[in-house]
Amino acid sequence: MAISRDKKQALVAELNEILANAKMTVFAAYTNIPVKELEKLRRMAREQGVGIKVVKNRLVRVAMSQIEALKDTDTSTLKGQVLYAYSSEDEVLPAKILNDFAKENPSLELVGAFSGEGASLDTAETTDLAKLPSKNQLIAEVVATLLSPVNDVTNALSGNLHALLDGVEAKANS
């Protein structure tokens, strides 16, 4: 069913806003995936702050051409039945969610991605991106690394203090 010109313009305007605010947009080809499974993907993505959009590739190209950062991005891989996952908060999460879903549904294949700055990623780079830890995991690892010396000093001082107290207690008991 064809959609009217007004609806197409509204979709392009919505896509402009989504793509302009997205840190990363990942796209994946899908075939023969039941609607129930796609709804499950959307629900799972929504819970983590990622949006999923199924829209004609031509409309995405039009929207990208209107955004300064994305106007020169390679769109040659936008072919066939494609869905788009985007996030304005995390660069890794859209790829991770689609990759995890693709493990359960082999009909979904990561095709590529483009960043908010206009960098284009191919399938291999997108798959590698999906394997990275999430932003929160990376922050937690950095904090743990920074706190490690503090914890080591605290443990060392605590151990010496316990030994001193044990010595004082032994002297008091004798």
Span 141-168, pLDDT tens digits: 888 888 777 666 666 666 666 676 777 7
Structure confidence at residue 157 (pLDDT)? 64
Structure confidence at residue 109 (pLDDT)? 92
The widest CA-to-CA distance across the chain, in whole angstroms, is 95
Question: Would you list the domain boundaries of the chain?
Answer: 5-132, 133-174
What CATH architecture applies to the domain 5-132? 2-Layer Sandwich (3.30)
**From its phi and psi, is residue 78 left (phi > 0), alpha (psi between -120 and 50) or beta?**
beta
